[in-house]
Structure 1
């Protein structure tokens, strides 16, 4: 009896284990992606994994409400159309975009972002995380 062996799904390019830290969450989300995968798809996968794991705070699934940062590369948000492997790093940070809520009358618009109930703010936490040295094995 001759057995037919079908082709497996072949992935072109290298695969990377990436770690995405969500501000305000307990720990990073880790998953494997193709290095040619675009940043927008990686953000979508991270938000789905975050929701599937039932993490808090609840974020939602609209990727246009979030930005992905590479703490080593600087404070500029990554372009959602670039390949994730083009940055040469595997650790990223997912942050919610600040929302502008306009007041009625002559008051200035107020920016609403992620807040923390304990001491410190997300900005100070972000700056501290940029200064941390991460050793690789």
Structure 2
């Protein structure tokens, strides 16, 4: 018994196939970011969900607010509940990085989802 192989013209082999439909779709646009922020002297990171266009300053504000709202230990200084308490903190890419991140830089452009929050050194 012979089996015959039918060759489709180039570019038409996957028409109607589910993978072809997926390949034609544009890539989905990122709308939210899940970011981990480890606070100085804290045991576990704070998980923060941000908009895709959030800046480093937005991340610092959200991390401080989440840390205070969850009543984490050790507590931040008493005046950390005000809106600009995040200005007293700076974000770093890791615990061992000496350079603080620019507050106006976009989080998405940094290429990391893990950060370290520590008190600003004056």
* Equivalent in the alignment of 1:118: none
Q: Which has the higher helix share?
A: 2
- Helix, strand or coil at the partner of 1:98: coil
The answer as to 2:58 corresponding to 1:35 is: no
The answer as to 2:109 corresponding to 1:68 is: no
Distance 1:75 1:51 in 2: 25
- Helix, strand or coil at the partner of 2:99: coil
Q: Using CA pairs below 8 Å that are at least 6 residues apart, which structure has the higher relative contact order?
A: 2
Cα RMSD between the aligned structures?
A: 2.1
Residue correspondences, number: 88
Shift in alpha-carbon separation, 1:27–1:45, aligned structure 2, 3 A: same
Distance 1:69 1:40 in 2: 12
User: Which among 13, 20, 26 is matched to residue 37 of structure 2?
Assistant: 20
Q: Mean alpha-carbon deviation: is it higher for 66-75 or for 53-62?
A: 66-75
The structure that has the greater radius of gyration is 2
Cα deviation, residue 79, structure 1: 0.8
Q: Give the TM-score taking structure 1 as reference length.
A: 0.58
User: Which among 46, 54, 58 is matched to residue 75 of structure 2?
Assistant: 58
Structure 2: tracts of 5 or more residues without a match: 1-28
The answer as to 2:102 corresponding to 1:79 is: yes
Q: Mean alpha-carbon deviation: is it higher for 40-49 or for 68-77?
A: 68-77
